[in-house]
Structure 1
Amino acid sequence: MSERIDAWTHIFPPAFFARLQTMASATGPLRRWLELKSLYDLDHRFRLMDGFEGYKQLLTPSMPPIEELVEGAQAIDLTRLMNDGLAELVDRHPDRFPGFAAALPMHNIEAAVDEIARVDAMGAAGVQLPSHIRGIPLDHARFIPVFDEIARRRLAIWLHPVRGPVPDYPTEEKSRYEIWWCFGWPYESSVAMARLVFSGLFDRHPDLKIITHHMGAMIPYFAGRIEQGWGLEMGSRTPPADANLLPGKLNRSVEDYFRMFYADTALSGAEGATRCGLEYFGEGKVLFASDFPFDAEGGSYLVRETIKALDNLGLADPVRRRIDSENILAIIRRDTTRHGPVAPA
């Protein structure tokens, strides 16, 4: 059995978890996270991992985003505590955790750029960014230095959706039936991807690697609408008075940009959606991932069902190896680009 690296698993490092327990929101919005044992108990996590042969995990910060928990200097300190903990876990357990994606204090651009340099030196494979920063879109001009520094250092981005119970209709106060999570999160990812595409990000940084959660969200399924509406008919639905809402000139077709994203298999075991995403992004851009540990079994369900969905596709062995480990290892090691951190600018 060859190794399988789960490219998107969440965790609270011990010192970070201890700090969270002292925060006022620990009895409110944070309660669900603090009660999920797999997020903070390593022994429990290892027992679940051992149920899958050859199974390893790339670590990413757990939601919620740090910017939504604290502000100012506290957010910077909490971010550093998270990243120090992630790096320590990878250093202590390289047989379990081959790499990590770091958090950034995105409310403070200068601090975020400094943290990119710090986590690069610590060996991070990249950084995890939420789909917006407290309502500010990622294509806002204030974030350009962050993306420039990430690209300069050839780090990858793990793009994670974030959305609370905002109303589904303007006549209501909150979303009902947890629609905000089931459909809202894929929508958030898709909007963030579109905004980054139309901002010209890939024209400025054509080698930038952005990994999108849940197999690129809505993008593969709506490929036809993308080609029609944003390829053949862009602008036809916008009156001249709103021309400022349309994108500037891009170097390539819109569908070409969307296929530049990477995507993971965190689809809760949906075989048809996995096939759709693999066909859209291609075997070189799809990474095995489960979204561990966010299920009723503490992570085992998602891993098991994701493996089952891939097994049912009957993929050729070389394709399966790329998805299971080779694609993410290339990102972790940055083999095709450079070795070690770049020198300061």
Structure 2
Amino acid sequence: MTDHASTPTAPAPRRAAAARPQQPVDEKIDAFCHILPRTCADRLFALDDVPALANLRRRVMDIPALVDLDVRFRQMDEFPGYRQLINLAAPPAEDFGTPRSAAHYVRMANDALADLTARHPDRFAGFCAAVALTDVDAAVAELDRAVGELGAVGVQIYTHVRGHSLDEHRFAPFWARAAELDVLVQVHPCRNATWPDYPAEQRSRYEIWWTLGWEYDLSAFMARVVFGGILERHPSLKLLIHHGGSMIPHFSGRIGPGWDQLGSRTPPDQQADIEGPPLSKRPLDYFRMFYADTALFGAPHALRCALEFFGPERVLFASDSPYDPEKGPGYVRSSIADVNRMDLAPHERTAIFAGNLRRLTAGRLLD
């Protein structure tokens, strides 16, 4: 009988070291970035007689990530936990063709955005629909279709419609429906070199129309929404203003006491310039009802100002990708760095990176 106690045995195999628990990857959802589905790109670049497209071609033809998903996904891989809420890249559909052709284009675009989101939920958390507001009834119908049938979580609009302010009465049905649907409304600036810097000139110089003009457009849009009574009538509207709320946080000291005196210094023959629906609050209080994004391109001081004005609960992480000098990842990287440089509580940082967007889209985002 073998004495097992005295029988030499092979050393027991070494147990594999227990895997270290993975640190959770912070979720980051880019709430304002752009894409150009292939079908839309083919349609746009086939139009040779549309002036709005001449500028577009020059600006986007050398940005592969707008159209090429392989390039886009490789860039996104740099950022763990990062997904995008996509929208249609400029120009506004209203700027080319007839209202009918614009309506056809946005319908095609929304189908494509919905398809991209459905096929790549690990990359795209959702999409914001395109509409063409040259035909308001058609825009409302397309918004209903995009939200109800395609699953859009919001809609992207521009600061004006072919030079017309969105507080004109004809746009009222759009605002009413956006409020009823409780969707996120992304607001993108829009002007070009034909908008001169000074009245005596014919064109803008040095691309002032873009660098500074777009920020004026956003700020003027906000003011017309306020004084046109849109937020008074629809206080639940979720208006996301690109580029950190633009000029408003930086000039809140001028906006507050300045517009508290609206009309007190206006000559009698100019009273029509200040007439509008009655407001129940200070103008400054309405400006705080907007939401802002972090697309400020490596300017932490500007983001700090936006956070102080709107509060962390009204600021959403966004990059404006892929329009940076690296053609994709640069603004994502700088926007993340800017948020991480802020003196925020952990729950505030989490809210900015994804929580605020999830709250505003009320469960519509893909998991």
| TM-score bucket (shorter structure) | over 0.9
CA distance in 2, matches of 1:30, 1:203: 36
Q: Secondary structure at the match of 1:218?
A: coil
- Which structure would you say has the larger Rg? 2
| TM-score after normalising by structure 2 | 0.88
How far has the Cα of 1:236 moved from its partner?
2.3
1:140 matched to 2:168: yes
Measured after TM superposition, the shift of residue 58 of structure 1 is 0.4
C-alpha distance 167-323 of structure 1, shift in aligned 2 (>3 A) = same
CA shift, 1:154, in A, is: 1.0
Change (3 A) 1:241 1:27: closer
- Other-structure match for 1:98: 125
The change in CA–CA distance for 1:249 and 1:72 in structure 2 (over 3 A counts) is closer
- 2:33 partner SS: strand
Q: Residue 312 of structure 1 corresponds to which residue in structure 2?
A: 341
Deviation at 1:84, TM superposition (A): 0.6
Q: Aligned-pair distance for 1:28?
A: 2.4
- Contact 1:269 1:307 (C-alpha < 8 Å) held by counterparts: no
Alignment of 1:195-210 (within 5 A): 195-210=224-239
The residue number in structure 2 matching 1:263 is 292
Structure 2 counterparts to residues 265-284 of structure 1, below 5 A: 265-284=294-313
Q: Out of 192, 202, 207, which is 1:178 matched to?
A: 207
Per-residue CA deviations over 1:75-110 (Å, capped at 9, x if unaligned) read 111110111111111111111111111111110111
Q: Which moved more, 1:46-55 or 1:16-25?
A: 16-25
Corresponding position: 1:5 with 2:23 = no
Which one-letter code corresponds to 1:94 in the other structure?
Answer: P
Give me the whole-angstrom Cα distance separating, in 2, the residues matched to 1:180 and 1:227: 27
Q: How many residues align?
A: 335
Kept after mapping to 2: 8 A contact 1:284/1:323: yes
Percent identical across equivalent pairs? 46
Q: Distance in 2 between matches of 1:72 and 1:132?
A: 15
| Structure 1 equivalent of residue 89 of structure 2 | 62
Aligned counterpart, 1:158: 186
The equivalent of 2:259 in structure 1 is 230
Unpaired segments of 5 or more residues in structure 2? 1-24
Aligned-partner residue type, residue 144 of structure 1: A
Q: Which amino acid counterpart does residue 230 of structure 2 have in structure 1? A: L
CA displacement, residues 177-207 of structure 1 (integer Å, 9 cap, x when unaligned): 1111111101000000000001111111111
Query: Any stretches of 5+ residues in structure 1 without a counterpart?
Result: 341-345
2 CA distance for matches of 1:53 and 1:317? 18
AA partner of residue 100 (structure 1): F
The alignment's C-alpha RMSD in Å is 1.5
1:293-312 matches, within 5 Å, as: 293-312=322-341
1:216 is paired with a residue of what secondary structure? coil
SS at match of 2:249: coil
1:268-295: CA deviation from partner (whole Å, max 9, x where unpaired): 1100000000010011100000000001
Q: Residue 44 of structure 2 contacts residue 53 of structure 2 at CA under 8 Å; is this kept in 1? A: no
Structure 2 counterpart SS, 1:107: coil
1:17 alignment partner, one of 41, 49, 52: 41
Read off the aligned partner of 2:179 and give its amino acid letter: A
| C-alpha deviation, 1:27, in angstroms | 7.5
Query: Which residue pairs with 1:28 in the alignment?
Result: 54
Q: 2:359 aligns with which of 330, 337, 344?
A: 330
| 1:67 counterpart letter in structure 2 | E
TM-score by length of 1: 0.94
Deviates more, 1:217-226 or 1:294-303: 294-303
On the 8 A contact 1:131/1:188 being kept in 2, the answer is yes
Structure 1 CA distance for aligned equivalents of residues 68 and 360 of structure 2? 27
Shift of 1:315: 2.0
Partners of 1:283 and 1:84 lie apart in 2 by 34
Following the alignment from structure 2 to structure 1, what is the Cα–Cα distance between the partners of residues 66 and 39?
13
AA of the residue aligned to 1:21: F
Question: Does residue 289 of structure 1 match 2:286?
Answer: no
